[in-house]
Structure 1
Amino acid sequence: MTPSIEQALKDDRVIDITTIGRKTGEPRRIEIWFHRVDGRYYITGTPGARSWYANLVATPEFTFHLKQSTRADLPALATPVEGAEKIRVLDAIKASITGSNVTLDPATSPLVEVTWAETA
């Protein structure tokens, strides 16, 4: 990764992701926040069913679009996070969002870990 991408992954929060629709097979792009916890990257959302999460469960390959301090389209993979690890990560995310009334519930908030797909 280039230094500008590494810096964006360290400092930015707002991205777009493009998933593949689980029903339509069509690309779906949305804006969302990402979080860095212990050097790993995560995407979560408020409690409830989320289409982006269902799409990632069905097709884990997606595009992670940096758009704040730099622009880059990164091929990525999503892995759902559950159990004690989910509680730990959501607690860390809540602690990092000071001054916010964000609700994250381990029972109903979606959470995926993002890893970078190998590129040829």
Structure 2
Amino acid sequence: MTPGIEQALAHDRVIDITTIGRKTGEARRIEIWFHRIDGRYYITGTPGARSWYANLLVNPDFTFHLKESTQADLAAHATPVEGPEKQRVLEAIVASIASSRLTLDADTSPLVEVTWADAA
């Protein structure tokens, strides 16, 4: 990865992701935050059903669009995070944001780990 991409992954928060619709097969792009915890990358959301998460469960390959300090489209893969690891990561995300208004729940908040397609 280029230094600009590495810098963005270390400091930016807002991205877009493009998933493939599980029912339509069409590309779906949304804005979302990503989080870096212990050198790994995650995407989560507030509790409840989320279309982006349902799409990634069926079609885990997606595009991770950097758009703050640099612009780049990264081929990525999503792996759902469950169990004690999910609780640990969600707690770390809440702590890193330092907002008393943020609520993430290990039972109902979606969480995926992001890996890069070219990192094999």
TM-score over 0.5 (shorter chain): yes
Give me the whole-angstrom Cα distance separating, in 2, the residues matched to 1:70 and 1:80: 27
Q: Offset at 1:98? A: 1.3
Q: Which residue of 2 aligns with 1:84?
A: 84
Secondary structure of the structure 2 residue equivalent to 1:9: helix
Q: Which residue of 2 aligns with 1:3?
A: 3
Deviations, residues 38-93 of structure 1 (Å, cap 9, x unaligned) = 00000000000000000000000000000000000000000000000000000000
Give me the whole-angstrom Cα distance separating, in 2, the residues matched to 1:70 and 1:88: 30
Q: Which residue of 2 aligns with 1:52?
A: 52
Q: Which residue of 1 aligns with 2:41?
A: 41
Secondary structure of the structure 2 residue equivalent to 1:54: helix
Secondary structure of the structure 2 residue equivalent to 1:118: helix
Q: Which residue of 2 aligns with 1:28?
A: 28
Aligned length: 119
- Percent identity among equivalent residues? 79
**Structure 1: runs of 5+ lacking an equivalent:** none
Q: Offset at 1:99? A: 3.2
TM-score (norm 1): 0.97
Secondary structure of the structure 2 residue equivalent to 1:64: strand
Q: Which residue of 1 aligns with 2:102?
A: 102
TM-score (norm 2): 0.97
Q: Offset at 1:102? A: 1.0
